[in-house]
Structure 1
Amino acid sequence: MVNKVYNVSLNKEMKGSKHNQVLMSIVVCMPVLAYGTAMGWISPNKALLMGDSSPSTSPLSEEDVSWMASIMFIFAPIAVFIYGVAADKFGRKHALLCASIPVALGWAVKLLCAHPIALIGARALIGFGSGGAFVVCPLYVKEISEDSIRGMTGTFIIFSQTMGNLFVFILGDLLPFNAVLWILLAIPLLHFCILLRLPETPSYLIKCGKNEETAKVLGWLRSLPEDDKSILEEMDRLISEKTSCEPKFSPRLLFSDKTARKAFWVAIIVNLTREFCGCIAVLVYASHIFAEAGKNHNTSIALSPNKQSILLAAVQIMGSFLACQLVDRAGRKPLLSVTSIVAGFSMCLLGIWFYLQSVQIFMPGWIPIAAMCTCIFADASGLQPLPFVIMTEMFNFQLRGTVATLIMAISLGTDFALLKLFAPLNSWIGYHYTFWIFSFICLANIFYLYFYVPETKMRSLEDIYADLEGRNKKKNIDNVIETNHV
């Protein structure tokens, strides 16, 4: 049975609203917030951990820090498969509850022991839980949100990550080492306690045959009586979806369907474009760019490493907030296209700046900083969140978990490879060519979006697949021919 709190909401809200969906989406994304704090934690603490006053038994080496940074990307892809299967077998809620446990254990280990091996092991635990969260959160948010706001709630995933980055940068700048760890430990514990009182997704409840409970949950989410006409219509749609497909992790089932296979390749290319657009590398390389800008006699910009991180995190937050506001108004394709253009030209400008530096032609130091901030803004406002939205909107309940599992495993593995290969690539071809490659990928993405990616905003799966199969295009051509004939 659904908790009594739902009945209270039903009595108060008879006209319907989206407040409960939005609030629940925010709570659901708390493990991703914890992931953001974990990703950003190294930046304000690196100097302390490697210094003489390190909380560890001895100062950490560059190799130790390198493993701390990358170990999360090794264990996250492994977790993706485990949590993907668990989400379909045991439910979205139970899988997400289990995602917070290793994250909490990771922060607890850091509190108990600051030995390098313990810190690396703690990061592995956090990476494992975070990998699961990145699979389950998009599914959970999509299945509790109605069509008119599912784009906005889908962007909460990346918004939560960027909030986590900014939060830990500010904490690291203001509070002692252990005080920050206690606060970060509280996030997954708070999420676990709140999620215990929240319901399973309606789609999964229908799959379990709990029709009465599904109606109550839908009524609470939509702030409508459970016997409201719109609730009954949504129940009928979910029942129809459930009878036609049963969720299970099955790559064979995905690739046996020609249209679903085509949709998968569209989703994976859109996601990988974001990985290879270079924005992750820009974040990693930010300190060097700021340092180079500070050396230039034409500028007086000189920020501490942590202030640099706070600046970039603030830019990310602004971009993520803009995505929340525009995604359901502008549509997925237009917003993704515009942000690809902006990121592409920003990367090109960074490449030009590095090239001119290499031939002893100096440009003002604010140019790379402006280009870098613009790139990060474009990434946060479109390139980063929208692939998650498109991924969940292009597949039915049966295949959604399989697709999310495969795409997130590939994406996280790509992140690890990209970060490891970035430095050798720069040494081989130079920073300017590296950023020009990133620029080319961003700009080429525009053509791929235009010709191959269907708009998914407020559209049924049947309409989306009709676009993929070319049926809508053929229908439009036939209508034009028929009109001309008449």
Structure 2
Amino acid sequence: MPILAYGTAMGWISPHKALLMGDSSPSIEPLTEEDVSWMASIMFIFAPIAVFIYGVAADKFGRKNALLCASVPILLGWVVKLISSHPIALITARALIGFGSGGGFVVCPLYVKEISEDSIRGMTGTFVIFSQTVGNLVVFVLGDLLPYNTVLWILLAIPLIHFFILLRLPETPSYLIKCGKNEETAKVLGWLRSLPHTDSAISEEVDRLIIEQTTCEPKFSPKLLFADKTAVKAFWVTLIVNLTREFCGCIAVLVYASHIFAAAGKDPGTSIALSPNKQSILLAAVQIIGSFVACQLVDRAGRKPLLTVTSVVAGFSMCLLGVWFYLQSVGSMLPGWVPIVALCTCIFADASGLQPLPYVIMTEMFNFQLRGTVATLIMAISLGTDFALLKLFAPLNNWIGYHSTFWVFSFICLANVFYLIFYVPETKMRNLEDIYADLEGKKRRKKEEDIVETIHV
């Protein structure tokens, strides 16, 4: 639900931008483009700061308490918007929401991973992005149908409901074991697994968690992470996969969607002509479908194959968009439905693989001791990258043109395919020992040794 709230906050500007900048603005005076620009980007300035604070808090005070605290600034942000529509108040409110959302993004994947069974860990991990896309769709629909203040009251209810529901939910078993609460851990696991807490399967899982805790006590320690050569390799793999998600260009595509739809609507060969809000609703619906597909396929197809396929699809979609913009710039035009299909395909690939799977991989490539540190560092870097992209996208287009920009995005997506094939290990239903063996090349060497031995025999 904190990520759902983040999705609503991210999408809130789109259906309300015209109102806030118009003559009937709820603000004292209409907002300027500069005001809106700061509203859009301020969340990504404060979110990385929150990532470090909540990362430390999650290890020191528990995942549940950190998540409870994440909802408070989000709640305050919507309250500020209800009290005042002055530009400074709106920007401050966005900063508060960004701070809480940054905490949600670092703690939610940890909480979900630590309460999930291995067999459904991938599916539950994709709920992070699924919740974000649901939030986008919710706010686009509400903004299209309801008055300004009514939307704010509804969005205010989301973090409030989350806070009271989470009070009734348990702390993660891994953290309870860390606190020495073995009996409570068994009860929590029994509730999560729908088994009696005295069941042998529960006892075995508790024993496994105790062994894990004995060998690694969690704390935020970059020094500890970079002292382990194999963990450093895993960190760089995870970071590159996550940064590729940011640089694949799908955020930029969403920002530029209005122009694509408008240009497509001018083509006499197509009857597509949608209002900006309807465009946003269409794209959010495509995202929802993609996120749902990810939930269904991630534990069947595996992380690596699904991420590879979606990178290929997104890469060719970006390339097609670049071709369309280039032909437009030289006075030639492809049919109006081409960019719309390419756009929707790109967003679908993003939601079904490129966005959710890096979060899953991030939590599966590290032990309990390092998981919080890695999540904190990677989320801070990723959110900072989002801020840079939002600020630099327009100047980049003015410098090299939209077609070149989309070709750059296409190249990044397709290059990611080769990186995934040769450097990223599969993490589905595998323990850390096997994953790290792949990273170190031990598995390949062992196969070669087996072949040599067979030949010798």
- TM-score (normalizing by structure 2): 0.99
SS at match of 2:42: helix
Aligned residue for 2:243?
272
Shift of 1:51: 0.9
Instruction: Give the 4+ runs in structure 1 shifted more than 6 A.
Output: none
SS at match of 1:416: helix
Shift of 1:36: 0.1
User: Residues 277-292 of structure 1 correspond to what in structure 2 (within 5 A)?
Assistant: 277-292=248-263
Return the match for 1:350 from 321, 326, 337: 321
Aligned residue for 1:164?
135
Q: What percentage of residue pairs aligned between the two structures are identical?
A: 84
Count of residues in correspondence between the two structures: 457
Q: Deviations over 1:181-222 (max 9, x none)?
A: 111000000000000111100000000000000000000000
Aligned residue for 2:54?
83
Provide the rounded CA distance (Å) in 2 between the counterparts of 1:124 and 1:59.
Answer: 20
Aligned residue for 1:107?
78
The reply on whether 1:139 has 2:110 as its aligned counterpart is yes
Cα RMSD for the two superposed structures = 0.7
Q: Deviations over 1:92-131 (max 9, x none)?
A: 0000000000000000111111111101100000000000
Provide the rounded CA distance (Å) in 2 between the counterparts of 1:351 and 1:299.
Answer: 20
**Structure 2: which 5+ residue stretches go unaligned?**
none
Provide the rounded CA distance (Å) in 2 between the counterparts of 1:182 and 1:420.
Answer: 30
The reply on whether 1:70 has 2:41 as its aligned counterpart is yes
Provide the rounded CA distance (Å) in 1 between the counterparts of 2:455 and 2:267.
Answer: 65
Shift of 1:483: 2.2
Provide the rounded CA distance (Å) in 1 between the counterparts of 2:267 and 2:34.
Answer: 30
Aligned residue for 2:375?
404
Aligned residue for 1:372?
343
**Structure 1: which 5+ residue stretches go unaligned?**
1-29
User: Residues 434-453 of structure 1 correspond to what in structure 2 (within 5 A)?
Assistant: 434-453=405-424
Shift of 1:363: 1.0
SS at match of 2:437: helix
SS at match of 2:417: helix
Aligned residue for 2:207?
236
Return the match for 1:468 from 416, 431, 439: 439
Provide the rounded CA distance (Å) in 2 between the counterparts of 1:334 and 1:451.
Answer: 12
Provide the rounded CA distance (Å) in 1 between the counterparts of 2:452 and 2:436.
Answer: 23
Shift of 1:484: 2.5
Shift of 1:228: 1.1
Aligned residue for 1:121?
92
Aligned residue for 1:14?
none
Shift of 1:82: 0.4
| Code of the aligned partner of 2:338 | I
Provide the rounded CA distance (Å) in 2 between the counterparts of 1:477 and 1:332.
Answer: 26
Aligned residue for 1:429?
400
Shift of 1:248: 0.7
Shift of 1:296: 2.5
Provide the rounded CA distance (Å) in 1 between the counterparts of 2:398 and 2:210.
Answer: 57
Return the match for 1:48 from 19, 44, 68: 19
Shift of 1:485: 2.5
The reply on whether 1:187 has 2:158 as its aligned counterpart is yes
Return the match for 2:302 from 303, 307, 331: 331
Q: Deviations over 1:63-95 (max 9, x none)?
A: 111111110011100100000000001000000
| Code of the aligned partner of 1:434 | T
| Code of the aligned partner of 1:236 | D
Aligned residue for 1:33?
4
Return the match for 2:357 from 368, 379, 386: 386
Aligned residue for 2:186?
215
Shift of 1:300: 2.3
Return the match for 1:455 from 405, 420, 426: 426
Provide the rounded CA distance (Å) in 1 between the counterparts of 2:226 and 2:259.
Answer: 44
| Code of the aligned partner of 2:202 | I
| Code of the aligned partner of 1:149 | I
SS at match of 1:96: helix
SS at match of 1:149: helix
| Code of the aligned partner of 2:39 | M
User: Residues 243-262 of structure 1 correspond to what in structure 2 (within 5 A)?
Assistant: 243-262=214-233
SS at match of 1:58: coil
Q: Deviations over 1:308-341 (max 9, x none)?
A: 0000000000000000000000000000000000
Q: Deviations over 1:432-463 (max 9, x none)?
A: 11100100000011110011100000000111
Aligned residue for 1:361?
332
